[in-house]
């Protein structure tokens, strides 16, 4: 490690034409000569990953509680992360009313939608973003994979957007999902938080990398840091290039898969490719402190996406209404397992990313869950819920905890407590929250 009389700023950038590349946390950002020998305070990040359209719950919930539970089939991909994961059962979306729109709108707001005024409440991610977002370039990111138009028209007496977002900036301002990987990439590495169409067009036509425009800065930086930081930077720049290549391949050609849903240009045909690109950019966004709060929907609530690569010709939502048909149930199990594998890959990347004294996952809480348990019956009780990471906040993983109908909103209150933000705005008289969820920390 190099010894610096003056540490690099925690938020450091390389700038080029139409490009701003934020840097990950480096040893050179630590006051190496500080008498305490400390490594500096790490930002705490929050992520919500939404699992749409329910699960086959007998393949999800472990039979036993405590630390000696057995992983179920759909949780098996998380075996490498067992000690970093809490399985929570017995949580309900109490405020959720109706088959799909109501539970989805209530999942992060804790409030039943008012069909007369089309209002809900402010979602937990946006309350956190209001208080932490001032410290980052992007206050929050709202990601998805299903285009907005797939939500269709009114559902359950509410506008279609009630199923295509879980984030609400105000009680009547839903936040749309960003689903195009190129647009997300440009938000992270463009010169501002808005897209620069001129720079984007130039870069796409030349097929150049955003790193090309900061090449001289990269060389100077690599010459000024120690061996450990060189390794971190090489890994980081390789990750940026890999994402860029993935986006460029998608833009140049699409996989020849039959589908009854047209995808906008730039969006991968394969669900796996699309989700992985988004997850990889989430890692970069956290790693560079571009934002500390991200919500990512793995599909609209009630999504009828086809998973042809899994042999599922019927849409996801249609399959969940299996009415006991074993063939449909088996296909839903495949979809559930597929999404678990993709989420596990993301958790692996978070664990493998250095963040000073620990990993990126140690300083991040990831809540993965949805507003439905049994999609066939539209149940929004005992909903699937996993919590990962946050070791630096004393989250004690390796356990299955069973609650007795506590609202999911109580978990959100715990997340806000761990993020050290006020929950006063969340606790309106309409909220279904009853108190901070207990039992998560040591």
* 174-213 pLDDT tens trace: 999 999 999 999 899 876 555 556 666 666 666 678 888 8
For 17, 81, 268, 415, the CA distances from 344, given in Å and listed in that order, are 36, 8, 20, 21
Q: What is the pLDDT, as a whole number, of residue 256?
A: 45
Q: What is the pLDDT, as a whole number, of residue 249?
A: 85
The strand pair at 168-170 and 312-315 is best described as: unpaired
Give the DSSP H/E element, type plus range, for residue 366: strand 364-369
Enter the tokens of residue 391. 């070791």
Tell me which of 235-244, 318-327, 391-400 is least confident.
235-244
Of residues 208 and 44, more confidence is placed in 44
Among residues 258, 169, 210, the alpha carbon closest in space to that of 19 is found at 210
Domains, the chain, in order of start with CATH, read: 1-41+183-266 (no CATH), 47-179+291-436 (3.40.720)
Q: What is the DSSP string of 275-329?
A: HHHHHHHHHHHHHTTS-SEEEEESS-TT---EEGGGTEEEEHHHHH--TT-HHHH
Q: What is the pLDDT, as a whole number, of residue 155?
A: 78
* 61-79 pLDDT tens trace: 999 999 999 999 999 999 9
Enter the tokens of residue 346. 């993301």
Q: What is the DSSP string of 405-420?
A: EEEHHHHHHHHHHHTT
How large a percentage of the chain has pLDDT more than 70?
89
Of residues 116 and 142, more confidence is placed in 142
Among residues 101, 88, 77, the alpha carbon closest in space to that of 384 is found at 88
Does 406 score more than 50 pLDDT? yes
Of residues 229 and 154, more confidence is placed in 229
20 beta partners: 15
Within 63-170, strands assigned E span 85-92, 141-144, 168-170
The strand pair at 45-50 and 364-369 is best described as: parallel
Integer Cα distance of 440 and 442 in angstroms: 7
Enter the tokens of residue 28. 């050179």
Integer Cα distance of 396 and 97 in angstroms: 33
pTM of the model: 0.92
Dihedral sign for Cα 86, 90, 91, 96, please: positive
Integer Cα distance of 160 and 380 in angstroms: 19
Does 34 score more than 80 pLDDT? no
Mean of the pLDDT values across residues 215-239? 89
**Other Cβ atoms within 10 Å of 230 Cβ, number:** 15
Q: What is the pLDDT, as a whole number, of residue 162?
A: 92
* 145-159 pLDDT tens trace: 999 888 777 778 889
Q: What is the pLDDT, as a whole number, of residue 6?
A: 55
**Other Cβ atoms within 10 Å of 159 Cβ, number:** 16
* 262-319 pLDDT tens trace: 555 678 989 999 999 999 999 999 999 999 999 999 999 999 999 999 999 999 999 9
């Amino acid at each position: 490690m190099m010894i610096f009389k003056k540490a690099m700023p925690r938020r450091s950038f390389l700038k080029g034409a139409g490009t701003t590349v934020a840097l990950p946390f480096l040893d050179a950002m630590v006051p190496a000569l500080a008498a305490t020998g400390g490594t500096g305070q790490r930002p705490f990040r929050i992520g919500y990953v939404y699992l749409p359209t329910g699960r086959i719950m007998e393949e999800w919930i472990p039979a036993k509680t405590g630390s000696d539970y057995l992983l179920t089939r759909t949780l098996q991909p998380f075996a490498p992360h067992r000690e970093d994961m809490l399985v929570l059962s017995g949580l309900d979306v109490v405020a959720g009313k109706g088959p799909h729109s109501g539970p989805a709108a209530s999942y992060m707001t804790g409030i039943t939608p008012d069909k007369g005024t089309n209002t809900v409440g402010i979602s937990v991610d946006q309350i956190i973003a209001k208080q932490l977002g001032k410290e980052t370039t992007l206050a929050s990111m709202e990601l998805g994979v299903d285009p907005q138009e797939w939500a269709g028209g009114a559902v359950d007496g509410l506008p279609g957007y009630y199923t295509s977002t879980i984030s609400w900036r105000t009680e009547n301002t839903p936040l749309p999902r960003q689903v195009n990987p190129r647009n997300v990439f440009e938000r992270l590495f463009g010169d501002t938080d808005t897209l620069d169409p001129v720079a984007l067009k130039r870069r796409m036509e030349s097929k150049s990398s955003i790193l090309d425009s900061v090449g001289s800065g990269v060389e100077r930086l690599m010459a000024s840091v120690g061996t450990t930081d060189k390794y971190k930077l090489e890994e980081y720049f390789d990750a940026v290039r890999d994402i860029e290549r993935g986006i460029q391949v998608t833009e140049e050609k699409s996989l020849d898969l039959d589908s009854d849903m047209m995808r906008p240009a730039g969006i991968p045909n394969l669900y796996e490719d699309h989700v992985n690109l988004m997850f990889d950019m989430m890692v970069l966004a956290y790693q560079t402190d571009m934002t500390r709060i991200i919500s990512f929907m793995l599909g609209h609530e009630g999504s009828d996406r086809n998973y042809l690569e899994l042999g599922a010709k019927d849409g996801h939502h249609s399959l969940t209404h299996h009415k006991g048909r074993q063939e449909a149930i088996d296909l839903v199990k495949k979809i559930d397992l597929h999404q678990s594998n993709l989420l596990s890959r993301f958790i692996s990347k978070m664990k493998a990313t250095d963040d000073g004294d620990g990993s990126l996952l140690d300083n991040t809480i990831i809540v993965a869950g949805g507003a439905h348990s049994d999609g066939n019956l539209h149940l929004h009780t005992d909903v699937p819920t996993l919590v990962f990471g946050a070791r630096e906040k004393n989250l004690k993983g390796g356990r299955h905890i069973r609650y007795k109908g506590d609202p999911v909103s109580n978990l959100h209150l715990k997340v806000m407590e761990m993020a050290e933000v006020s929950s006063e705005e969340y606790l309106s008289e309409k909220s279904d929250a009853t108190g901070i969820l207990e039992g998560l920390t040591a």
